[in-house]
Chains A and B, each alone.
Chain A
Amino acid sequence: MNQPMLEIKNLHAGVEGKQILKGVDLTINAGEVHAVMGPNGSGKSTLAAVLAGREGYEVTEGQVLYCGKDLLEMDPEERAREGVFLAFQYPVEIPGVNTTYFLKAALNEIRKHKGESELDAMEFLSLVKEKMKILHLPEDCLKRSVNDGFSGGEKKRNEIFQMAVLEPKLAILDETDSGLDIDALKVVSEGVNKLKRLDNAQFVITHYQRLLNYIIPDYVHVLFDGRVVKSGGKELALELEERGYESLMSHELQPA
């Protein structure tokens, strides 16, 4: 039970031959909320992509253990079925595929993987109705095609709604705050907070501190040039906001 949920050890990864992550170390336990902050180009989104198994990203060194298993060995869909969920920075539109149908297929894949019975249409619908309340999502979103013609805010809410339905063990939120106005930000954060449990963990990737006013992290990590250069409590986020990455980093990176 004391096994960490996620252990990232000395992770080096890149895309198209360009090294982006240069030795990331990070450990996340169940019940915790971690935030990763960092300037543009520091490797935040690469980290999320590598964890989710996106094609085109090459791991050159290091290891990632998820509940003790080698995460990097798994196919993307297997990671998802094992409980790793990525809330996309840019949710993808899939015209012609009904949202309800999509989500039911996803949930049933996960249930099958866990050895649980698949939900039929009625059972699924009642589950979905209950979860929709959390995100104040209009019902017609379900009848539309996946993210097709959704506004920016609706897309982000739809991500968190999917997270509510799929109940992942590890949720990675990639810049969920980007493109959201303050009201949408509140709704989304509220949703995320309601989904927090003792047996799951949240990994929040953000550029700005303002999201962390609503999603309170237990730990904050600063990613800079492909490495975690500083870790601390939630007050670190405020410090960053005040001083900016540059001054913090120039100070931190001075040779000892």
Chain B
Amino acid sequence: MSTATETIEGLVRQEYKYGFYTDVEVDAAPPGLNEDIIRLISRKKNEPDWLTEWRLKAYRHWLTLKEPTWLKVRHEPIDYQSIVYYSAPKKKSDGPRSLEEVDPKLIETYEKLGIPLKERERLAGVAVDAVFDSVSVATTFRETLAAKGIVFCSFSEAVREHPDLVRKYLGMVVPYTDNFFASLNSAVFTDGSFCYIPKGVRCPMELSTYFRINAANTGQFERTLIVAEEGAHVSYLEGCTAPMRDENQLHAAVVELIALDRAEIKYSTVQNWYPGDENGRGGIYNFVTKRGLCKGRNSKISWTQVETGSAITWKYPSCVLQGENSVGEFYSVAVTNNYQQADTGTKMVHIGKNTRSTIISKGIAAGHGQNSYRGLVQVRPGAMNARNFSQCDSLLIGNKCGAHTFPYIEVKNKTSSVEHEATTSKIGEDQIFYCNQRGIATQDAVNMIVNGFCKEVFKELPMEFAVEAQKLLGVSLEGSVG
């Protein structure tokens, strides 16, 4: 952290003694969490009373919880009182002034991913005055959506402009009591995305945070809510394929999806937060709760994720299949290299009749990476003829990494069928040599084999995303074979 920030924090701390929370001029709250901080966040965002209350209830509940210890990852204890839970969006003058001031390693990665120069500046947080054309792009984009009645805006804006919708659906799928990190998020979330697709509307384009310019600094506690009314269709892309360096240690996001009758939501993520260095120093702790509710009949929710970043990933995008004939899907590629750790998977909860779910998980471990798949398939008593198919494959590169699979299956209905398949393989030296002997260099050979391993998942990604995900995987695994 720069000295400038320390000074600000120092000043703020000083003010605190005199009751800083009455002072609306502060840019950042002091580190730590208490009810005053939460009220401050809520007031800063001009939130209605019900939301302030909701946050406080979440906070009080969170105080009764303990951080989960069942996951197969190791990390230093997180000091929740040392985190700054609110800070105003960074000013441009705080960022690097030109690309020369940016970490050359980061620039190198951008180059490999083929990201245009202007874009690199934006991603690296360079203070450019004319930030490419995203303003006009975003404007035309919004007009097209508004014409169809689609709401796509920041969460804060949604609270202001569509309070009834937010109030109706917030916490419906992930209640504030859900788990330690979800409760924390409910108490302190600062922003995120809101998306509402009205009845019968098919969203004419892929919705992406990429187009929403204010998405860049939404902070570490994001909250996303997507509602698809009867017969509505939407495909949502989350994240950015370029590595985002973020000094925040802890990320605890919540995503809620709600699909009514015949509605379909496809949610794709490429997560590439800072993974820490080669020695396992630094990196993001990513503790995310993502869940979709197939509330209506014949509804469908599909999660696709490519997880290459973060020092620790804790994430189980899940589907609650409540409506009859509803469908849940989970396609995942998770990569751990160097000292990264991932404990990720899904939950498919079959409640309605004839509900179906598919799980395809591909875990890749290289370096000292530890990669765990953890999944639950639960068939409730009323879920007549429910069906699930799960496939969990692991690929090991080198001999210092680990792959683990923890499948949980709970079946309470005899008419259902659940299938689970799992494989573990290793990229062998003989495979690499075979490729070399045909003229293909080692790194290209690894990419080829890894992409082959992941192709069932990549084909679920929207086209441009798939191409970038492939490149990203290449960058993430660079140097993983000696």
Chain A residues packing against B (C-beta within 8 Å): 52-55, 75-77, 79-81, 85-86, 88, 91-98, 101-103, 105-107, 109-110, 113, 145-146, 162, 166
Contact = CB atoms under 8 A, between A and B. Distances in A.
B455 interface: yes
Contacts of A106: 435, 438-440
B429 interface: yes
B436 A94 contact: no
B434 A77 contact: no
Contacts of B440: 77, 102, 105-106, 109
- Please name the 7 residue pairs, one residue from A and one from B, whose CB atoms are nearest each other, closest first: A96-B452, A106-B438, A109-B439, A76-B436, A80-B439, A92-B434, A97-B452
21 contacts: A52-B433, A53-B437, A76-B436, A76-B437, A77-B436, A77-B440, A80-B436, A80-B437, A92-B433, A92-B434, A97-B449, A97-B452, A105-B440, A105-B448, A106-B435, A106-B440, A109-B440, A110-B439, A146-B434, A166-B438, A166-B439
Nearest to A84: B437
Interface string B422-451: 000100111101111111111010001101
B453 interface: yes
A94 B438 CA distance: 13
Contacts of A101: 448
A113 B439 contact: yes
A145 B439 CA distance: 18
B423 to A, nearest CB: 9
Contacts of A80: 436-439
B392 to A, nearest CB: 15
B335 to A, nearest CB: 15
Given A54-B433, A55-B433, A96 B449 contact: yes
Contacts of B439: 77, 80-81, 106-107, 109-110, 113, 166
Nearest to B428: A92
Nearest to A94: B431
Interface in B65-96: none
Interface in B249-305: none
Contacts of B436: 53, 75-77, 80
B448 A77 contact: no
Interface of B: 425, 428-431, 433-442, 444, 448-449, 451-453, 455
B430 A92 contact: yes
Given A55-B429, A105-B444, A94 B452 contact: yes
Contact of A77 (B425, B441, B449, B451): B441
A21 to B, nearest CB: 19
A157 B437 CA distance: 17
Residue among A96, A98, A109 with most chain B CB within 10 A: A96
A24 B256 CA distance: 70
Nearest to A92: B434
A107 B428 CA distance: 22
A54 B429 CA distance: 10
Given A76-B436, A145-B452, 10 more contacts: A53-B436, A55-B429, A55-B433, A77-B441, A79-B437, A94-B449, A97-B448, A103-B438, A109-B441, A166-B439
A55 B455 CA distance: 29
Given A80-B439, A102-B448, A113-B439, A92 B453 contact: no
Given A94-B452, A145-B452, A162 B433 contact: no
B429 to A, nearest CB: 7
A168 to B, nearest CB: 10
A128 to B, nearest CB: 14
Contacts of B453: 95-96
A95 B454 CA distance: 11
A188 B438 CA distance: 19
Contact of A91 (B434, B435, B455): B434
Contacts of A86: 437
Contacts of A75: 436
A255 B429 CA distance: 43
Nearest to A146: B434
Contacts of A103: 438
Contact of B452 (A76, A77, A98): A98
B145 to A, nearest CB: 37
Contacts of A91: 434
Contacts of B452: 94-98, 145
B181 to A, nearest CB: 34
Contacts of A102: 435, 438, 440, 448
Contact of B425 (A95, A107, A110): A95
Contacts of B428: 92
B107 to A, nearest CB: 26
